[in-house]
């Protein structure tokens, strides 16, 4: 007996369906009074039929990944091939096949209309099944479960910057533009939540006295984070960075103008990524990288050069969870008098006492307060 195909009821977005009512219904009735007897019962509006946002997908599966519960549509593996998304440009995804060749792939309508909290359905780093079309084109039929996701909140939805990475380089600059510790803390929270190893890279150290960076470097180092001091101009730390990236899947992120593309050009000769100088008036970086892109390294592994950002709002982190992502706050949280202590105004509070006694860095505590309040960097 043939195995019965599994069926799954799935939710779709509001704009999934076209208009089902006939626009000329009234006009037809006015010109032909007998036409009312022939009106189709399908014109009535109900919770079922063509107006519902639910559809039954044959052969689909429900699985868990780093984004939550996702739907895996059925694919014909005798026709489709596997690949990895290197870059997403508008409606086209550049997919690398197992043999190294590239295809420009569109995304099937089913994936784009499924109800999801994600702003984009396909992201750089995704493993996908696609159906080949023509010589170098194709249609993405399914996105495989993800891990190691770097994302943020954008327009109330999850903006996937990159997926399936092992570590993330959080690049900041000692000057031009100025160092933003609170932005670094937001990246660290995202990395902790996603289970990605964070590595803090402070670039352009040739512009300041390195001694001025020691208090900040000391705080992060004592918390167990790896910190690299770099200078593309003088070549400081480039070999250490190259060794850190060897054989790993790495996301490179940070605000605009900190020198992410310059660092990648330094560790991979011949890459020639486009770079620009920082604005002399605003001391803010200019956007040169416009989309996340996977770049293979000659020593093995990939790096993902992500666009520079000026705001980084955390995704799926409520204020009650923030303290758990600050390593130095964790030992004191359970010693507070109130089980729901926010460590902001309560008395007595073990966290606030630790700050007053010098066991918790004041700057980090202030960063916690800002993130707990829910504002943007």
Domain locations in the chain as residue ranges: 66-143, 150-305, 319-372
pLDDT at 53: 75
One CATH from 3.50.50.60, 1.10.1660.10, 1.10.40.50, 1.10.3720.10 for 319-372: 1.10.40.50
Provide DSSP, 123-154.
Answer: -TT-EEEEEEETTTEEEEEEE----S-EEEEE
Q: Which two tokens stand for residue 119?
A: 């702003």
SS3 assignment, position 159: strand
CB 240 within 8 A of CB 228: yes
Q: CA Rg, the chain, in Å?
A: 26
Q: Is the pLDDT of residue 4 over 70?
A: no
CB 238 within 8 A of CB 291: no
Q: Is the pLDDT of residue 44 over 80?
A: no
Cα–Cα separations (whole angstroms), residue 352 to 221, 275, 324: 22, 44, 15
Provide DSSP, 248-289.
Answer: SEEEEE-BTTS-HHHHHHHHSTT------PPPTTT--PPP--
Cα–Cα separations (whole angstroms), residue 368 to 38, 340, 355, 373: 67, 16, 12, 8
Which of the residue ranges 38-52, 141-155, 219-233, 310-324 would you say has the lowest mean pLDDT? 38-52
Q: Is the pLDDT of residue 39 over 60?
A: no
Average pLDDT, the chain: 85
pLDDT at 257: 87
Q: Which residues of 67-106 are buried (b: 16+ CB within 10 A; e: fewer)?
A: beebbbbebeeeebbebbbbbbeeeebbbbeeeeeebebb
Provide DSSP, 94-120.
Answer: EEEETTS-EEEEEE-HHHHHB--SBS-
SS3 assignment, position 334: coil
Span 162-189, average pLDDT:
94
pLDDT band at 102 (very low <50, low <70, confident <90, very high): very high
pLDDT at 24: 58
SS3 assignment, position 350: helix
Q: What is the pLDDT of residues 330-364, one digit of tens each?
A: 999 999 999 999 999 999 999 999 999 999 999 99
Q: Is the pLDDT of residue 30 over 60?
A: no
CATH architecture label of 150-305 = 3-Layer(aba) Sandwich (3.40)
List, in order, residues 6 or more apart from 203 with CB less than 8 Å away.
171, 172, 173, 174, 230, 231, 232, 258, 259, 262, 263
Task: Write down the CATH superfamily of domain 66-143.
Answer: Nucleic acid-binding proteins (2.40.50.140)
CB 194 within 8 A of CB 149: yes
pLDDT band at 41 (very low <50, low <70, confident <90, very high): very low
Measured in degrees and rounded to the nearest 5, phi and psi for residue 309 equal: -130, 160
Cα–Cα separations (whole angstroms), residue 32 to 23, 39, 59, 153: 16, 12, 47, 55
Q: What is the pLDDT of residues 229-284, one digit of tens each?
A: 999 989 999 999 999 999 999 999 999 889 898 999 999 888 878 665 554 444 45
Q: Read off the pTM.
A: 0.83
pLDDT at 87: 94
pLDDT at 25: 54
């Amino acid at each position: 007996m043939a195995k019965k195909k599994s069926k799954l009821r799935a939710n779709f977005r509001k704009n999934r369906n076209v208009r089902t009512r006939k626009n000329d219904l009234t006009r037809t009735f006015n010109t032909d009074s007998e036409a009312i007897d022939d009106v189709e019962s399908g014109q009535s509006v109900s919770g079922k039929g063509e107006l519902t946002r639910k559809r039954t997908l044959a052969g689909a599966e429900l699985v868990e990944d780093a984004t939550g519960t996702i739907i895996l549509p059925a694919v014909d593996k005798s026709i489709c091939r596997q690949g990895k998304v290197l870059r997403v440009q508008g409606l086209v995804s550049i997919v690398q096949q197992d043999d190294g060749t590239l295809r420009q792939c569109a995304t099937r309508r089913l994936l784009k209309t499924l109800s999801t909290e994600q702003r984009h359905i396909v992201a750089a780093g995704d493993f996908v099944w696609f159906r080949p079309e023509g010589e170098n084109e194709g249609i993405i039929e399914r996105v495989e479960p993800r891990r190691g996701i770097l994302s943020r909140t954008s327009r109330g939805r999850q903006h996937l910057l990159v997926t399936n990475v092992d570590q993330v380089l959080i690049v900041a600059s000692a000057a031009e533009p100025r160092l933003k510790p609170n932005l670094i803390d937001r990246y660290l929270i995202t990395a902790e939540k996603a289970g990605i190893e964070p590595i803090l890279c402070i670039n352009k150290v040739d512009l300041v006295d390195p001694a001025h960076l020691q208090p900040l470097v000391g705080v992060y180092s004592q918390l167990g984070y790896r910190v690299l001091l770099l200078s593309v101009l003088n070549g400081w730390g480039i070999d250490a960075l190259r060794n850190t990236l060897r054989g790993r899947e790495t996301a490179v992120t940070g605000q605009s103008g900190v020198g992410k593309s310059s660092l990648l050009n330094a560790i991979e000769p011949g890459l020639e990524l486009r770079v620009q100088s920082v604005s002399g008036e605003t001391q803010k970086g200019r956007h040169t990288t416009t989309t996340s892109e996977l770049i293979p390294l000659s020593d093995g592994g990939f790096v993902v050069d992500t666009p520079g950002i000026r705001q980084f709002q955390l995704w799926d982190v409520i204020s009650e969870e923030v303290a758990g992502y600050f390593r130095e706050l964790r030992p004191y949280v359970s010693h507070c008098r109130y089980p729901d202590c926010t460590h902001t105004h309560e008395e007595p509070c073990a966290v606030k006492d630790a700050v007053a006694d010098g066991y918790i860095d004041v700057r980090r505590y202030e960063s916690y307060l800002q993130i707990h309040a829910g504002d943007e960097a």
